[in-house]
Amino acid sequence: MFIGHIGIGFAAKAIAPRTSLGSLFLASQFLDILWPILLLLGIESVLIVPDAPTVIPLEFTNYPFSHSLAFVVLWSVLFAVLYFVLKQDKRGSLVMGLVVASHWLLDALVHVHDLQLYPGSDVRVGMGLWSSLAATLLMELGIFLIGLAIYLRTTLAGDHYGSCGLRLFVLFIFLVYAANLFGPTPPHVSAIAWTNLSIWLLVAWGYWIDRHRRLS
Ligand SMILES: [Zn+2]
């Protein structure tokens, strides 16, 4: 899942208003930010399957440290503790931890039986919504748009950049999502990894938007 995670980051602003949108994006997409680093290091692996019966031409063969349930719980707790140490904000740290965990639940809806419970586990879960383009679009766009609507109700543009920056961000996300779903199959795994690393840009963009908007 891609834009659904961004939708959760947007929506979380309503329950953690003092937390920057950038931090919420970092939490909601952390597993997908970690994954390309582990791919490039050769610790995790993925196969490109051009004729896969899913909307994403990939087979997630091994990604226990970024995407197994046990590690997601660990990352969630680490995020919550680290955020509390940095900000002394109980509500914010709880929300940050839950947002990290939400990534796994959303992935479990769309992935096809490839999310392990723990490294080495034979049990792999995933409801496989990615087998249907219509279901994928309905689910991901739905979560994204609801999250965005919640964010727009929670915050107001503080200046010109606060409205234009957000509009540009949404347009950019739609373009990247369309390229993801309908663009050419990635040529090799390192191309996937480097493309995914650009999620850092979205996190930085979130911090920037947040600085130009205020709570409504
Ligand atoms: Zn993921």
pLDDT digit string, tens, across residues 172-185 = 999 999 998 999 99
Alpha carbon of 110 to those of 42, 62, 156, 186, 211: distances in Å? 25, 17, 33, 20, 33
Q: Is residue 156 within a helix (H) or strand (E), and if so which, with residue range?
A: strand 155-157
Check: pTM over 0.85? Answer yes or no.
yes
How much is the average pLDDT of 151-156?
A: 98
79 — pLDDT class (breaks 50, 70, 90):
very high
If you measure from the C-alpha of residue 159 to the centroid of ligand 1, how many angstroms do you get, rounded to a whole number? 34
Give residue 3's pLDDT. 96
- Convert 7-24 to b/e letters by CB count within 10 Å (16 or more is b): bbbbbbbebbeebbbbbb
Task: Supply the Cα-derived Rg of the chain in whole angstroms.
Answer: 17
Q: How far is CA 76 from the centre of its chain?
A: 14
CB atoms within 10 A of CB 195: 14
67 — pLDDT class (breaks 50, 70, 90):
very high
If you measure from the C-alpha of residue 75 to the centroid of ligand 1, how many angstroms do you get, rounded to a whole number? 13
Contacting residues for 167 by C-beta, under 8 A, at least 6 apart: none
193 — pLDDT class (breaks 50, 70, 90):
very high
Give the separation between CA 12 and CA 159, rounded to whole angstroms: 22
Contacting residues for 40 by C-beta, under 8 A, at least 6 apart: 190, 193, 194
- In terms of Cα–Cα distance, which of 204, 203, 199, 207 is closest to 37? 199
> What is the rounded average pLDDT for all residues in the chain?
96
Give residue 156's pLDDT. 97
pLDDT at 158 over 90: yes
Residues 157, 212 contacting (CB under 8 angstroms): yes
Ion ligand 1 — residues with CB < 5 Å: 31-32, 107
pLDDT tens-place string over residues 194-207: 999 999 999 999 99
pLDDT at 1 over 90: no
How much is the average pLDDT of 101-127?
A: 96
If you measure from the C-alpha of residue 124 to the centroid of ligand 1, how many angstroms do you get, rounded to a whole number? 14
If you measure from the C-alpha of residue 93 to the centroid of ligand 1, how many angstroms do you get, rounded to a whole number? 21
Q: How far is CA 134 from the centre of its chain?
A: 20
Strand-strand pairing, 45-48 and 58-62: antiparallel
If you measure from the C-alpha of residue 161 to the centroid of ligand 1, how many angstroms do you get, rounded to a whole number? 30
53 — pLDDT class (breaks 50, 70, 90):
confident
